[in-house]
Amino acid sequence: MHLSLDSNTAQSRMSLRQLDMTAVTSSPAQRQFCLPHGFVGRLVGWYMSRENRHMNQLAVEWLDVQEADDVLEIGFGPGHGLELLLTTTPARTVSGIDPSTEMAEQALYRNRVAAEASRLWVVVGAVEAMPFPDEQFSRVVAVSNFHVWRSRSAGLQEIRRVMRTGGKLVICLRRALDNPWPWSSPGLSLDTLREDQELLVSHGFQDVQFATRKHRRRSCCLVATC
């Protein structure tokens, strides 16, 4: 079986080196979740597959993919979201972009049948400078990575460029518990989520709303129209 990354791999490895995650995170452990790399990064990938399962399900539900949709996932990590898009939706095409080569390899392995059948395209690169033509996608999704982008503003501008007018964007985030335990996984406050909502509006997205499910209250999606 031959699995290969997109031809942008070499160029994207360069952008991987250029990404300075120390700007947004402090500890080495946090940096592994923001940009998994090396052997530990691979382990983190398998952990994220379990930990973010509900967020990925919620995001794909809200994306509401139809048969004519070309879907892009940003920051796909170990590829569980891509798997859901490929197996539970009628998407015409599924593409993904992530700066971590380890995650790209894991995602390709997890979705090897679709990759071999050319139903899946995976690019190693960052949301702030995507190698896709204008208006290629009608659905864009990002799960648990909006706050680790080097520049949310540049990322949102790029998303608008690659999206068709009327397309749907879903950004899924983890909410903080109101009264967290010391061992609770981290999350975002309501104030931060409101700031994110305003950021989307200021970048030209419309009908920007919060969406969740009662039994998955810690997973929160920002759903917007391009």
Ligand X SMILES: C[S@@+](CC[C@H](N)C(=O)[O-])C[C@H]1O[C@@H](n2cnc3c(N)ncnc32)[C@H](O)[C@@H]1O
Among 40, 129, 148, 176, binds ligand X (CB under 6 A): 148
15's tokens: 């952008």
φ, ψ for residue 166 (rounded to 5)? 90, -5
Among 6, 69, 70, 98, binds ligand X (CB under 6 A): 98
Q: Which stretch binds ligand X (CB under 6 A): 4-12, 62-70, 78-86, 211-219?
A: 78-86
User: What is the distance between the alpha carbons of residues 216 and 226, in angstroms, rounded to a whole number?
Assistant: 26
User: What is the distance between the alpha carbons of residues 201 and 102, in angstroms, rounded to a whole number?
Assistant: 34
E strand intervals along the chain: 70-74, 93-98, 120-124, 137-143, 163-174, 206-211, 219-225
User: What is the distance between the alpha carbons of residues 76 and 78, in angstroms, rounded to a whole number?
Assistant: 6
Q: Does 96 bind ligand X (CB under 6 A)?
A: no
100's tokens: 């971590």
- How many chain residues are in contact with ligand X, going by CB under 6 A? 29
User: What is the distance between the alpha carbons of residues 215 and 138, in angstroms, rounded to a whole number?
Assistant: 28
- C-beta closer to ligand X: residue 165 or 217: 217
Q: Which stretch binds ligand X (CB under 6 A): 64-72, 99-107, 175-183, 214-222?
A: 99-107
Amino acid type, 12: S
- Length of the chain, please? 226
- Dihedral angle of Cα 24, 213, 53, 201, to the nearest 10 degrees: -30
φ, ψ for residue 63 (rounded to 5)? -70, -25
Q: Restricting to residues 162-201, name those near ligand X by CB under 6 A.
A: none
Among 32, 58, 71, 81, binds ligand X (CB under 6 A): 81
- C-beta closer to ligand X: residue 29 or 113: 29
Q: Which stretch binds ligand X (CB under 6 A): 96-104, 163-171, 174-182, 196-204?
A: 96-104
Q: Restricting to residues 111-140, name those near ligand X by CB under 6 A.
A: 126-128
Q: Please report how close the Cβ of residue 35 comes to ligand X at its closest, in angstroms.
A: 5
Site track for ligand X across 17-56, x = CB under 6 A: ----------------xxxx-----------x---x--xx
- C-beta closer to ligand X: residue 106 or 138: 106
Q: Summarize as ranges the residues that interact with ligand X (CB under 6 A).
A: 33-36, 48, 52, 55-56, 74-78, 80-81, 97-100, 103, 126-128, 143-145, 148-150
